[in-house]
Structure 1
Amino acid sequence: MTLRSLLEPLYIQILRSTITHIPTHIAIIQDGNRRYAKEMGQKTGFGHRQGANTTETMLEWAREFGIKHITLYAFSTENFRRSDEELKELFDLFKDRFLKVLTDERVHRNKIRVRMVGDKTLLPEDVLTCVEEAEEATKQYSNHYLNVAIAYGGRNEIVHAARRLIARVKAGTLRPDEITPAMVEENLYGGLGLPPVDLIIRTGNEYRTSNFLPWLANGNESSVYFCAPYWPQFRKIDLLRAIRVYDQRRRSGPKPSCP
């Protein structure tokens, strides 16, 4: 047993004791799976599987801390450009993890609702079937929400919302001057009613939010935490450090606007 393994639980306890405000909605950009696999001398699929395992562990931490909404950026619209081999690995992994929801006692004991955020028309039929089975099996739950962003792009989402509103204008059921920010929000994310994002986390030493939930995150001026570990290496300490950034911002209060 190393000194680090002995001290880490104590540090986690101390760090948790300093945090007063817990975010309601955390959005996570899970970056670094492929780079992690490369550094480990493994194929890409290894990194994605390890990342999926980290996700399951992280959800336990989030539940422990009382976080109600988690939105994961699992697969962007741009990711469809990846190789056929990697796409197959990812789609097989998605099918496996969504089907696992059906029998995972943690999901049902803690009443976690699982939902997909993204363009379902872009998914292969077999993947979509697994997604919809997980959604159906958890649709009555409301203690916690796990939103998985697949085939998702922030600008694409806003375009789809605009099209829905334009269709109503053309049908004569809505006037342009009646369109409000709240109405736009109602037409985003498939009408899931996601709350504003309080905190964005990005792993893998990348310092950008990559078109993720722009309306709910940027519009809400959410706190942002970038960290170096690849997603498979993400630890409970990293999550707490991210929450501390949100907590510190809440303590300091709103920033005055520029004159």
Structure 2
Amino acid sequence: VGFVMDGNRRYARTIDQPVIVGHQRGAQTAGKILEWWVRLGPRYLTIWAFSSENFKRPKEEVDCLFRLMTIHFKNLAFASSVHLFQIRVRIVGSRERLPRELLEAIELLEDSTRKYSRLFLQVAVGYGGRDEIVRSVRSAIARGVEVTEDSIGQGTFCSQIGVPPVELIVRTSERRTSGFFLWDTQTAELHFLDKLWPQLTEEDWLDAIASFAQREIRSGR
């Protein structure tokens, strides 16, 4: 399952609060998703936390987002549930423009969960779908292999870290995928929610999983 989290800023406006409050509430919702996931969910979960397009936002907002991610990644590294359920966490995306403190938090989180394999959480930070494909093509050329569907597929983040293609994309607020893991979502089902990310509830999560299960039954999977 892959989540495209959208609507934090609009949520902040609806409650007449600064943008950062919307992002804080959104981070809380992401934490709840992890709780719901370990109770009832597939082995693999992907969350798009920060896109390559987000770098274009005001510097103050971007810096606040980086601070939030740094705090939450550090907390996740020591979270009892992560170690109880043996969740391996990987952060994917371009890291060239990420601040040192966030990079250190990412390294801590990945190192502390490297030995686990029961559940797998993939968090996309600095990620863009087109950028991923460009990087994969360049990787194939650098390896001296022909650029084919197979060689491009071998260079995607999912392929490199052993995560299967996304089967269900859940998005709040908007009805588009915005380039979410372009190469590895070709056959993914789509589940759109007409609410803002901080408003997501456990019932929404269960409805998405149930809806996907029914689609699998109808398609004979």
Q: How does 1:89-168 map to 2 (within 5 A)?
A: 89-168=64-143
Q: Matches of 1:245 and 1:103 in 2, distance apart?
A: 33
The answer for the alignment partner of 2:219 in structure 1 is 253
Match of 2:11 among 36, 42, 52: 36
Distance apart, 1:184 and its partner CA: 2.3
Uncovered stretches (5+) of structure 2, i.e. residues with no partner: none
What displacement does 1:198 show? 0.9
Superposed CA deviations along residues 115-167 of structure 1, whole A, max 9, x for unmatched, are: 11101122122211111110011001111111110000011001001001011
Q: Does 1:45 align with 2:20?
A: yes
Cross-structure match for 1:244? 210
Instruction: Normalising by structure 2, report the TM-score.
Output: 0.95
Matched residues in 2 for 1:254 and 1:214: separation?
Answer: 25
The secondary structure found in structure 2 opposite 1:75 is strand
In structure 1, how many angstroms separate the alpha carbons of the residues matched to 2:41 and 2:62? 34
Q: 1:59 matched to which residue of 2?
A: 34
**Which consecutive residues of structure 1, in runs of 5 or more, have no partner in the other structure?**
1-25
Shift of 1:196: 1.0
SS at match of 1:106: helix
Listed one character per residue, the Cα deviations across residues 233-257 of structure 1 (whole Å, up to 9, x for unaligned) are 10111112211221122111169xx
Q: Do the aligned partners of 1:71 and 1:147 also contact (CA within 8 Å) in 2?
A: yes
1:237 is aligned with what amino acid?
E
**What CA distance in whole angstroms lies between the structure 2 residues aligned with 1:168 and 1:113?**
28
When Rg is computed on C-alpha atoms for both structures, the one with the higher figure is: 1
Does the 8 Å contact 2:165/2:185 carry over to 1?
A: yes
- Runs of at least 4 residues off by over 4 Å: none
Q: Percent identity?
A: 39
Q: Which amino acid aligns with 1:202?
A: R
CA distance in 1, matches of 2:55, 2:69: 14
1:180 Cα offset (Å)? 5.0
Contact 1:116–1:147 (8 Å) recurs in 2: yes
Task: With the length of structure 1 as denominator, give the TM-score of the two structures.
Answer: 0.81
1:13 corresponds to which residue? none
Q: Which amino acid aligns with 2:90?
A: R
1:201 has 2:148 as partner: no
For residues 13-43 of structure 1, give each alpha carbon's deviation from its aligned partner in whole angstroms, at most 9, with x where no partner exists.
Answer: xxxxxxxxxxxxx000011111111101111
Preserved contact between residue 92 and residue 157 of structure 2 (Cα < 8 Å) = yes
Instruction: Figure out how many residues of one structure are paired with residues of the other and give that number.
Output: 220
Are the equivalent residues in 2 in contact too, given 1:95–1:127 (CA < 8 A)?
A: yes
Distance in 1, matches of 2:188 and 2:214, equals: 12
Matched to 1:110, the amino acid is F
Contact 2:41-2:209 at 8 Å conserved across structures: no
CA distance in 2, matches of 1:186, 1:199: 21
Q: Is the 8 A contact 1:27 1:201 kept in 2?
A: yes
Instruction: Give the Cα–Cα distance (whole angstroms) in 1 for the partners of residues 41 and 12 of structure 2.
Output: 32
